[in-house]
Amino acid sequence: MEWVDFFLQQLITGLSNGMIIALIAIGYTMVYGIIELINFAHGDLFMLGAFLALTVVGLLGLGDWSGASAWAAVVIMLIASAGFCGVLNWGVDRLAYKPLRNASKLSLLVSAIGASFILVNLGLFWGGLPMDVFAGGVAAAAPKDFPALVPNTNLLGEESLVQFTPKDVLVWAVTVPLMVGLTWIVTRTRLGKAMRATAQNPVAARLMGIDTDRVIGATFLIGGALGGFASVIYSLYNNTISFQMGYRAGMDAFTAAVLGGIGSMPGAVTGALVIGLVRSMSDAYLETRWTNTIVFGILVLILIFRPSGLLGSRAKEKV
């Protein structure tokens, strides 16, 4: 049954890619939930995370590690990129968004677009670093190869037509615990309670003694760190990165967040899985060149007909 195998293959690819998108989508949805800002710069933050991971590979020579030490290399990259993206996201909020807390939503959105462009440009410069991993810094704008630290061997046996590789294992092994941990933070800890309170009503939260600035900062830190984790597994999964990849990834993730109902974390994950599947199915059964049109089409249709998303029930419009 060849078509079954083919279909299963698309299913695996789609779900794995969907889980990567989900980590980015959570970053969008958390920030939107708390300050109602579409954080345009989030996708480009993700892109810089991948560049940092590649730099770490170059500095420590991780590219030659194999076997068990390859997994150690993966852990090193995950920690480095997550830390970097978390702090960077916090910094972007400090510099570009925090001064505008009382300004109009339009100004805030414009500032986020500006931040996104600056990060893209930093990515372009970063690609020009004179390091071997960046091809010696020549042709800074060209896509960069990311070393295949995680092998592409088929865990289902050489004969199987369906590929399930250590790469897929990596994706699930990183994303699922992170999502469980995040759910625990949001629902069980003091910080999570403060986050939910700030999202619901920042003024009342401040009156109750919650330091909302700190809570918002923490939200950016956590959302950014998730983007950092996503950037490493994305790079290991696809083995090529480019300074322009943030725009595409960001739009996918944002579409996912809107699809699931922006502000809702389970919604973001569900939406991301749907987007991942739509992408892989469209690539396989339709034409690759129409895939982006389909994803954007979904985004536009959802916004027009069901702006609260698939799982979003409380469509609150602040007047």
Partner 1 sequence: MRRLPMPILAYFAVMSALPLFMGTTGLFYDAFQAIFVFSLVGLGLNVVTGFTGLLNLGMAAFMAIGAYTFAILTSDIYPFQIGFWWGILATVAIGAVAGFLLGAPTLGLSGDYLAIVTMGFGEITLDVLKNLDAVTKGTQGINPLPRPTFGPWTLELQQERGWYWLLLGFVLLAVLAVRRLERSRSGRAWLSIREDALASQCMGIPPKRTKMIAFATGSALAALGGALFAALLSSTGEPASYDFQVSILALCIVIVGGMGSVAGTLVGAVVMVGMNSLVLVKLADWAGAAGVGNASNVLASPNNWKYLIFGLALILVVRLKPDGLLPPRLEGGSS
The owner of tokens 């996918």 is: 252
Q: Which of 4, 5, 99, 181 binds partner 1 (CB under 8 A)?
A: 99
Gap between the Cα atoms of 140 and 135, Å rounded? 9
Site string for partner 1, 178-197 (x = CB under 8 A): --------------------
Number of residues that bind partner 1 (CB under 8 A): 51
Nearest 5°: phi and psi at 310?
A: -70, -45
Residue 126 CB, nearest approach to partner 1 (Å): 9
Residues near 250 by Cβ (< 8 Å), separated by ≥ 6?
Answer: 24, 40, 42, 43, 44, 46, 116
Residue 124 CB, nearest approach to partner 1 (Å): 6
Assess contact for 83 and 291: CB atoms under 8 A: no
Q: What is the DSSP letter of 240?
A: E
Residue 98 CB, nearest approach to partner 1 (Å): 10
Residue 41 carries which side chain, given as an amino acid letter?
A
- What DSSP letter does each residue of 77-110 carry, written as one string? HHHHHHHHHHHHHHHHIIIIIGGGTTS-HHHHHH
Which among 5-13, 36-44, 187-195, 196-204 is the span making contact with partner 1, rule CB under 8 A? 36-44
Site string for partner 1, 199-238 (x = CB under 8 A): ----------------------------------------
Cβ-based nearer residue to partner 1, 150 or 258: 258
Q: Which of 1, 157, 304, 313 binds partner 1 (CB under 8 A)?
A: 304
Cβ-based nearer residue to partner 1, 40 or 237: 40
Q: Which parts of 149-289 fold into alpha helices (H)?
A: 166-188, 190-200, 202-207, 212-238, 245-260, 265-285
Gap between the Cα atoms of 14 and 72, Å rounded? 27
Site for partner 1 in 39-78 (CB under 8 A): none
Which among 18-26, 33-41, 68-76, 194-202 is the span making contact with partner 1, rule CB under 8 A? 33-41
Element at 44 (helix H, strand E): helix 42-60
Gap between the Cα atoms of 153 and 134, Å rounded? 26
Query: Is residue 293 a contact residue for partner 1 (CB under 8 A)?
Result: yes
Query: Is residue 272 a contact residue for partner 1 (CB under 8 A)?
Result: no
Site string for partner 1, 103-142 (x = CB under 8 A): x-xxx-xxx-xxxxxxxxxx-xx-xx-------xxxxxx-
Query: Is residue 285 a contact residue for partner 1 (CB under 8 A)?
Result: no
Assess contact for 234 and 20: CB atoms under 8 A: yes
Residue 123 CB, nearest approach to partner 1 (Å): 9
Assess contact for 242 and 143: CB atoms under 8 A: yes
Q: Supply 200's token pair.
A: 């619901």
Which among 49-57, 168-176, 188-196, 297-305 is the span making contact with partner 1, rule CB under 8 A? 297-305
Q: Which residues bind partner 1 (CB under 8 A)?
A: 36-38, 95-96, 99-100, 103, 105-107, 109-111, 113-122, 124-125, 127-128, 136-141, 247, 251, 254, 258, 289-290, 292-293, 296-297, 299-300, 303-304, 307, 317, 319
